Amino acid sequence: MATGAGWAPARSVERHGAPRGGSARSKSVAPGLRRPSPSPARARQAADHDGSADSCRVRVAVRLRPKNAQDLAHGSDFNSCVELQPECKRLKLKKNNWSCESYKFDEIFSENASQKRVYEVVAKPVVESVLEGYNGTVMAYGQTGTGKTYTVGRLGKNDPSERGIMVRALEHILSIVSLETDRVAISYLQMYLESVQDLLAPEKTNIPIVEDPKTGEVSLPGAAIVEIKDLEHVFQLLQIGEANRHAANTKMNTESSRSHAILIIHLQRSSRIKEEINGSFSNDIHGISPDDLPLVLKSKLLIVDLAGSERIDKSGSEGHMIEEAKFINLSLTSLGKCINALAENSPHIPTRDSKLTRILRDSFGGTARTSLVVTIGPSAQHYSETSSTIMFGQRAMKVVNTIKLKEEVDYEILYKKMEREVDQLTSEMERQQKLRRSEKMQLDKKLEESEMSFHDLRVTSNMQIENLEKEKRQLECAVKKLMQDLEQENGQKNLLSEKIVHLEKLLNEKKQQQLENLSKTKILADTTKEHEKEMGELLRELEEEKCCSASMKDRLSVLEQQLCDALSFAQLQESMARKLEKELSKVTEDFTSQVQPLKEKIGELISEKELIYEELKSTQQKMQQEMRQRQGLEDQILRLKQSVPDNCAEESKTSCGMVRSGSGLGSAALMSKSGKLREALSGQRGTISKIFEEVGLPNILALLKSEELDVQIHAVKVVANLAAEDINQERIVEEGGLDALLSLLETSENTTIHRVTAGAVANLAMNGSNQGVIMNKGGARQLANVASKTDDPQTLRMVAGAIANLCGNEKLHLMLKQDGGIKALLAMFQTGHNDVIAQIARGIANFAKCESRVISQGHRKGRSLLIEDGVLTWMVANSNRFSASTRRHIELAFCHLAQNEDNTCDIIASGGIKELLRISRESPREDTRNLAKKALDSNPAFLREVQ
Ligand code: ADP
Ligand code: MG
């Protein structure tokens, strides 16, 4: 440490408690603590505590190199041209024997000055300042061979005393900072001919210098910045730098004396890191005041080993082009110009003239603390160089810098801190949750325990109650027994007292006897007296009795009188009765005369009834006859059916007379095939119309409710036949025939009844105005019900025919669907009977046709009700199971369904397209083929599917 008053900025600041680190301070003391008032300011001016501006002035020391061999060789010719006065920090420069000038510097180092002392005086204050967060520069200036590199860049790896400023500065910094929290990194550069080259990464040449337009801070972003691990690492890097400098100079055919070497030490220190790591965190994570923000100090130390300051022609380096020579000197010349301008307080500082001055912008006239060591040789041979070096140093001493502290918020630390706080809070939260869970578990356990103890208590109390009750019962028994004992004792006591009484009585009697004997005589006299008295009494009573009987006699006479009166009243009533009897006989006579004609009438009625019975019997006989005829006809029909091909079935509703007789006759088409059959039927129908005319419809309908099954069957057959005639259909419904038929369907268990009734309903359902009535009276439901209960193909054919007829009325479609008509129709397919299936197909075709018409007229929208009940799927699935005639109905239904656009998706999904295509090509009927083609062509979705 310097002892002189001039060169002691560190001490002067230290004296006033200025922010200074130092060897005296322990490494563990955080730099933030050392600052008197940690301000949140990001950059502030360092206080000049002693009030003098020179605390920021560039410090300049002179170092005289010891005489070398060359000096000694020239020793006789050239005496030393310098004379040092270190005690008064003066230097005398002798031009010749009579001209001498004296200069004052901040420090004068003689040739004996150690490297250690040079470091401590020149560099240490700057390094300390850098450790505090200020920028610093240490620079060596002087003629080649005067010891610049020796002073600044000497490594002294094996001999610590030889170590120059670079190694010592890094050693010093590493001894102060903590690499856990702080960061030390270096860049090592060389500048030659205005080109900056990286000595740590020699491939990087011509590195640009960048200036921050806001802060004016200069940086070399292209240069490698290597973070320092330890001193060994420092040696390694500096050695690499040295080797690269040597290699580069050889390659460029230059000497080290022509290039500037610049070591940049980047230092980053956490301002309050230690307190935060070791101390406790604030509980309020949001309440971070600006003073609590973790700050980071960023500073830079530049250690510059300049090129030789001598003029080129004298340096002995030959062979340079003029331009090159100009460049070699450009940086130094510019530095000199800048220092001159700064020393003279010139308004313009030509910093931008060279790269060196740009890099050193902060070092001279900037915010850095700067120390300059000017090296000189002793030989008078180099007087002019020595003189110019000294003049440079003198001018540099006039440069005043305004040092500034660079503090930044350390967001990394802030983030870490927050993260730690979050971690702490999370763990605290988890701890609390655990605590709560364990508390809950404890409470649950307690609850369980108390429930158990409560249960135990209840059990024990129940047991106690039982015991008490038992005890109570035992006590009651004991009490009862005691009571019995007591009663027994009482009885004994009573017996004893009775005995005592008896004994006392006996005693008394004996006493009495004695007394009696004594007073018998007296008593006898008294008794006589009493007898007399009694006699008198009796006599008086007799007298009273006599009086009483006299009054009774009076009463008797009164009663006799009353009896007489009653007798006379009875006689009167008797005479009245006789009179009434006479009247009654007269009325009876009248009544009898009136009843006689009535009786006669009844007789007549009875005979009439008998007549009617007889008539009915003959009718029955006739009907039986007809039955037989019909049976024959049925056989014929069956025979005909077998001979008639399938395709004779007709689609249209009107041509399908479902039932011509109760037992189920064939269709009209069928009949038309057989004239004989027609004759037979017309004959039969004639008979039935005759019956109809003779008996009357109401009577026939009444027979439907007959108790006798036989009569019922005949009656329903007659009705079914009548219903086959168009003219009767409406009348039968009007006269209540439909109600009777539906009730028969519901109540009867008989198969024939079911079959014929279904046929009758089917016939009635041919009439358009009847269809609505049938539906409204629940006909479809009844038919579906019958279908579900039977597997008789004839019955099913009737039911299917009836529903098929109803399918032809579009107004009833929805109702038909809701009443389960369509589902029942599909279900009947299970029979596998062709006639039934033909009716199903006819119904579906009817339905689809009417629905298609309604939809095309715009009266209804949406997909087909048939599809909703699964008809489409059924049709596609069974298409190859239908007979030819049935298939035609199904094809027609298909074509009609395909006309409705809302069915498109279902048709495609069910695979109906294939069927539709087939119909359009193979259907035996041309109109059907055309209908299918039309549906395919008019629907783009179908066309897409076909492709
Ligand atoms: P420059 O870098 O200024 O050209 P050098 O540092 O290379 O000069 O020094 C030239 C020679 O002088 C070197 O051999 C060096 O060891 C020696 N030298 C310089 N200064 C001193 C000194 N103070 N003590 C001993 N030797 C020195
Ligand atoms: Mg050198």
Give the DSSP letter string of 741-767. HHHHHHH---HHHHHHHHHHHHHHTTS
Spacing, Cα 68 to ligand 1 middle (Å) = 9
Q: Is the CB of 260 under 6 A from ligand 1?
A: no
> How far does CA 182 lie from the centroid of its chain?
48
Contact 136, 264 (CB under 8 A): no
CB atoms under 10 Å from CB of 870, counted, come to: 14
CA 476 / ligand 2 centre spacing (Å): 130
Distance between CA atoms of 65 and 382, rounded to whole angstroms? 13
Q: Is the CB of 109 under 6 A from ligand 1?
A: no
Give distance in angstroms: CA of 10 to centre of ligand 1.
28
Q: Does ligand 1 lie within 6 Å of residue 22's CB atom?
A: no
- Closest ligand to residue 378's CA: 1
Tell me, using a 6 A CB cutoff, whether residue 146 lines ligand 1.
Answer: yes
Q: Is 379 in the pocket of ligand 1 (CB under 6 A)?
A: no
Cβ contact 353:334 at 8 Å: yes
* Residue minimizing CA distance to atom 5 of ligand 1: 147
3-state secondary structure of 140: strand
* 256 ligand 1 Cβ < 6 A: no
How far away, in angstroms, is 306 Cα from ligand 2 center?
7
Atom of ligand 1 at shortest range from CA of 63:
23
Q: Which ligand is nearest to the CA of 315?
A: 1
The 82-85 sheet, strands edge to edge: 82-85, 90-96, 99-104
* pLDDT recorded at residue 42: 34
Cβ pair 889, 652 in contact under 8 A: no
Question: From the DSSP assignment, how many helices (H) and strands (E) are in the chain?
Answer: 34, 16
Establish whether residue 142 lines the binding site of ligand 1, counting it when its CB lies within 6 angstroms of any ligand atom.
yes
Contacts of 191 (CB under 8 A, 6+ apart): 197, 259, 260, 262, 331, 355, 356, 359
Does the Cβ of 70 fall within 6 Å of ligand 1?
no
Round to whole Å and give the CA distance between 480 and 27.
106
147 pocket-lining for ligand 1 (C-beta < 6 Å)? yes
Atom of ligand 1 nearest to the CA of 375: 3
CA 176 to centroid of ligand 2, rounded, Å = 29
CA 151–ligand 1 middle distance (angstroms): 8
- The CA 162 to ligand 1 mean position distance, Å, reads 11
Distance (Å, rounded) from C-alpha 349 to C-alpha 337?
8
Ligand 1 centroid–CA 70 distance in Å is 12
Who's near 772: CB < 8 A, 6+ residues apart? 809, 811, 812
Answer whether 150 contacts ligand 1 (Cβ < 6 A): yes
Q: What is the largest CA-CA distance in the chain?
A: 215
Contact at 8 Å (CB) between 891 and 842? no
Count of other CB atoms within 10 angstroms of residue 103 = 19
Ligand nearest to the CA of 161: 1
Residues with CB under 5 A from ligand 2 (ion): 148-149
**pLDDT in the model for residue 461:** 87
Does 257 contact ligand 1 (Cβ within 6 A)? yes
| The pTM of the whole model exceeds 0.85 | no
- Distance in Å, CA 65 to ligand 2 centroid: 13
Inter-residue contact 156 to 148 (CB < 8 Å): no
DSSP 8-state symbol, 653: S
**Residue type (1 letter), 925:** R
Residues in the chain: 947
Distances (CA, A) of 376 to 7, 62, 289, 387, 572: 19, 7, 54, 9, 191
From the CA of 257, how far away is ligand 2's center (Å)? 5
pLDDT score, position 377: 92
Which ligand 1 atom is at minimum distance from the Cα of 113?
23
Comparing CA positions, the residue from 321, 335, 202 lying closest to residue 254 is 321
The b-or-e profile of 242-262 (16+ CB within 10 A means b, else e) is: bebbeebbeeeebebbbbbbb
- The residue contributing the CA closest to ligand 1 atom 9 is 147
Question: What is residue 247's predicted lDDT score, i.e. its pLDDT?
Answer: 74
* φ and ψ at residue 564, rounded to 5 degrees: -55, -45
Please, which residues have CB within 8 angstroms of residue 548's CB and are 6 or more apart in sequence? Answer: none
Ligand 1 atom nearest to 305, measured from its CA: 2
**840-867 burial, b if ≥16 CB within 10 A, otherwise e?**
bbbbbbbbbbbbbebbeeeebeebbbbb
Q: Is 692 in the pocket of ligand 1 (CB under 6 A)?
A: no
Tokens found for residue 811:
């107004």
Ligand 1 contacts CB of residue 149 (under 6 A): yes
Ramachandran quadrant class, 58 (left: phi over 0; alpha: psi -120 to 50; beta: rest): beta
- In the beta sheet, which residues pair with residue 62? 108, 374
Q: Which ligand 1 atom lies nearest to the CA of residue 142?
A: 3
Question: Which ligand is the nearest neighbour of the Cα of 146?
Answer: 1
Q: How far apart are CA 382 and CA 384, in angstroms?
A: 6
Q: By the 8 A CB rule, do 405 and 297 touch?
A: yes
Pick the residue whose CA is nearest to atom 10 on ligand 1. Answer: 145
User: Best mutation site among 63, 64, 65 for ligand 1, i.e. most ligand atoms within 8 A of its Cβ?
Assistant: 65
Who contacts 774 (Cβ-Cβ below 8 Å, separation ≥6)?
738, 761, 764, 765, 780, 806
| Spans of the chain below 50 pLDDT | 1-54, 273-286, 314-318, 643-674, 677
Q: How far is the CA of 82 from the centre of ligand 2 (A)?
A: 21
Helix (H) or strand (E) holding 527: helix 411-643
Query: Distance, CA 148 to ligand 2 centroid (Å)?
Result: 5
- Residue with CA at minimum distance from ligand 1 atom 23: 65
- Give the model's pLDDT for residue 510: 81
The Å distance, Cα 316 to ligand 2 centre, comes to: 15
Taking alpha carbons only, the member of 130, 172, 166 closest to residue 367 is 130
- Measured by CA distance, the residue closest to atom 17 of ligand 1 is 147
Q: How far is the CA of 534 from the centre of ligand 1 (A)?
A: 190
d(CA 104, ligand 1 centre) in Å: 24
Ligand nearest to the CA of 190: 2
Ligand 1 contacts CB of residue 354 (under 6 A): no
Instruction: Measure 403 CA to ligand 2 centroid, in angstroms.
Output: 29
